[in-house]
Structures are given as C-alpha cells and as structure tokens.
Amino acid sequence: MQITTGKGINQLRLNERIEQLSRIGRIGETGVCRLALTPEDMDGIIQVRLWMEEAGLATRIDPFGNLIGRLEGTDPTLPILMIGSHIDSQPYGGRYDGAIGVLGALEVVQCLMENGIQPSMPIEVIAFCDEEGSRFNKGLFGSRGMTGQLEEGELERQDKNGVTRCEALQAFGCSVEKFAEGVYATGSIGSYLELHIEQGPVLESLDAPVGLVTGISGPLWLTVTIKGMAGHAGSVPMAMRHDALAGSARVIAAFDDMVRADPDAPTVGTVGSLRVFPDSRNIIPEEVSFTVDLRDMEMERRNQLEARLMNVLDEICSQHGLTYSLTEDTNSEPRYCAERIQAAIRSSAEEMGLPLPELMSGPFHDALALSHVCEYGMIFVRSKDGISHHPSEYSSPEDIALGTEVLYRTIRQMCSRLPADIESSD
C-alpha cells in the first residue's frame, strides 16, 4: 500500500526544530536533561515561544508555567481545540519524549495558516509544565493546574536539593497568587489532541510507523517510607537488627513478583527511586523511602495488587521489627479516547493509505488530565526498540513526519466541523 503525505506539513522545518530543541540541556551525544522549572527548561520555553511567535501565534506563559500559543477562530465563542504535550524531560532522558508533540502541534497550526485555513474555533498549542514529575515526584502539574485539579500540598513538594515547587515557580517568573486566573472555565476546552512517541515496542513489532491510542491506563503512585534502627555495621548481631533497607528489599522483590505473576495481563509495576538514611557504608540503614508505580487498564486487578502490597508491607515490617508509612502521590482510573476523535484520526490515516494499529497507552500523558474536562485523542509514533526515558530513545524523522501529518489532517477536519457535525456523520 502506497503511503503519501501529500501537501501538508514541512518535514524539514519540523526535524530542524526537534534537533535544535534537543541541544538545550543536552547530555552526551543524544541525551537530554531539562527538568521542570529549571534554567534549561526556561531556555527551551524561550526557544519554542520564539517559533510560535514567528508562526504568528499570540503567546503567553500562564501562572502554572504552561507556554500557550493561540490562533483565533472565526467564532471566538466556540470551545477551544487544544494540541500539545511537554518539553520537560527526565534527568537522563531522550530527545523526542514530549517534544514531538509540542513541535508537531506547532507545525500543524503553522501549516493551517500557510494554507489559508482559519479554524472555526480558537486553537491553542501548549507546552505543558512538568509533565514528567521527575523533579517534584508528581507529574502533569501544568495540565492539572489549568484544569483545576491540583491537590493540597503541591507547592510544598521539594526536589532533591530542597527547593520547593513554589520557589521554582517564582524563580520561573510565575505568580502562584494568580493560579485562579489560570484555570480554564468549565466547558471552555472542547477537545484535546496529543502526538507522542509510543515509548514501547508494540508499533515496531507490527512494522507500523503510527498508531491510534484508544485509552490511557490508570497509574497509582505511592511513596513508601520504612523505618528501623541505625547501628554499627560491625557490632550489631544479625538477629538483633532492624534494618530498613533489608526489609525494603524484601518488599520490593515481593512487589515485582506479584506484578509478574500473570504474564498475559497488561499490568506493570516499578520501583524507580530509593533513598537511604543515613546512607553510610558502615551504618545499618535506619530509614528507607522508595516509590511505587503501578499501572493497569483494569481497576479491579490494580486494586487487588495494591491490597496485596499492603499485606506484604504489614508482614515484612512485622517480621523485621520495622514500621512504615506511605503517601499516595497519584491515583487515576483508566481514561478512554473519544470515539469521534478516533474516527477523525482513522479517516485521516486512510486518506494517506497509512495502516493504523490501535493500542492502549501504559504511560500517562497530559491527555490524562485533560480527559477530565474534555474529549481527547492521541496518536503514537513508533519508538525504536521501545526505548524511552533514556538517551538512546529514537523515532525516525520519517515516522515523526507521518504522525504529524495524521495530526494535521485530523485537525484540518475538526477546524471546519463542529462536534455535532462529526457525530451526525458517524
């Protein structure tokens, strides 16, 4: 089957922007470190904002640190069509995670303008602040902020250097006193679309450059703190120890075993961060904190695993004379993409002669936050070897261009058709 992009996006311009942005916060040959609300993040925002303004968009940075570029529609009373992603990264991340969604969205809107297409509704291109959550251990900050979903205590969260999110926002030039002004009114956002690398191996296994996302699995993030008693590593007998790290290791191993128990289930579980106190070679660890990331498309199964983890914590801490506490950092149910937007994406791919496998997203995205206030859709681009959150993360320029072209054609459809029009034609 012949795959064509036709007259649409400017692949060269898109690729050059992706490469230029990847140089900001560069680690080694291909790695990127642009932690949220850092000078590197600001440098990235400044560059993307410049491109937005060159394209003719009106730009602003809202109180939550989101960069927003706006194209007015013929009817300003219609709900906004949003497109975007994020440009913050993991500490040891890659060039494409989030970035292709922001720059792809900009390319789409710039092509609309160059082709003389004015949308009926306003379109906003957004680079959301702190999607990753790697600095303050809770992500989707900008997208949750603008949709009124922030929780108590978020501004007091600290990074590993003791800097609070509030302090980081203020250093970024954001006024936390104006949060209320940055929240979008109910019903003012009509739809949200996001282009993103898959971050997994499914599309590559199917030899497909682009995929249609049908939903996002529900993430549960916990922080577990286990406490014991410090002592000299050379003088306290093994039978008399209350070693917080040894107990934590047993909990972590048991958690990994339980998540792997059903190889046919899409469940995934990860312990990705661990802190030890006092963190000395010859002192028995007194306190250990570690993160738990548990995701599944079925809430019943995820809840059962969470309950089993609580039982394991009780049993192991009791056996080793330890105590534990935990905090819930994120808890979301699976969210499914709007069928009318999926239909528009499918028809756009059909125009191009492009096969479009359908798959769920294990990672969460800003679309997860937007799904609570509007309809949403997502397009995935193939990831080489399924690798992401690593400098070797790679999606080819050709695949990114195809995904962006599908997004462009989808947005072009939605520019001239209201929700009622699309529903009546389904």
Under 8 Å CB-to-CB from 237, ≥6 apart: which residues?
A: none
CA dist 315 → 49, 199, 309, 329 (Å): 53, 36, 10, 23
CA dist 268 → 156, 263, 302, 394 (Å): 29, 10, 10, 22
Question: Is 132 assigned to a binding site?
Answer: yes
Pairing of strands 123-128, 80-86: parallel
Question: Is 97 assigned to a binding site?
Answer: yes
Q: Could you tell me if 197 and 96 are in contact, meaning their C-beta atoms sit under 8 angstroms apart?
A: yes
Rg over CA atoms, the chain? 23
| DSSP line for 217-231 | PEEEEEEEEEE----
Per the listing, tokens 């160059």 go with: 114
Sign of the alpha-carbon dihedral angle for 190, 295, 310, 292: negative
Helix, strand, coil shares of the chain as percentages rounded to 5? 40, 25, 40
Question: Is 298 assigned to a binding site?
Answer: no
Under 8 Å CB-to-CB from 65, ≥6 apart: which residues?
A: 36, 37, 129, 130, 141, 142, 169, 172, 174
Under 8 Å CB-to-CB from 162, ≥6 apart: which residues?
A: none
Question: Is 365 assigned to a binding site?
Answer: no
Sign of the alpha-carbon dihedral angle for 137, 143, 146, 150: negative
Pairing of strands 274-277, 210-216: unpaired
Q: Could you tell me if 214 and 342 are in contact, meaning their C-beta atoms sit under 8 angstroms apart?
A: yes
Question: Is 389 assigned to a binding site?
Answer: yes
Annotated binding site: 86, 97, 132, 196, 389
Annotated binding site for Zn(2+): 86, 97, 132, 196, 389
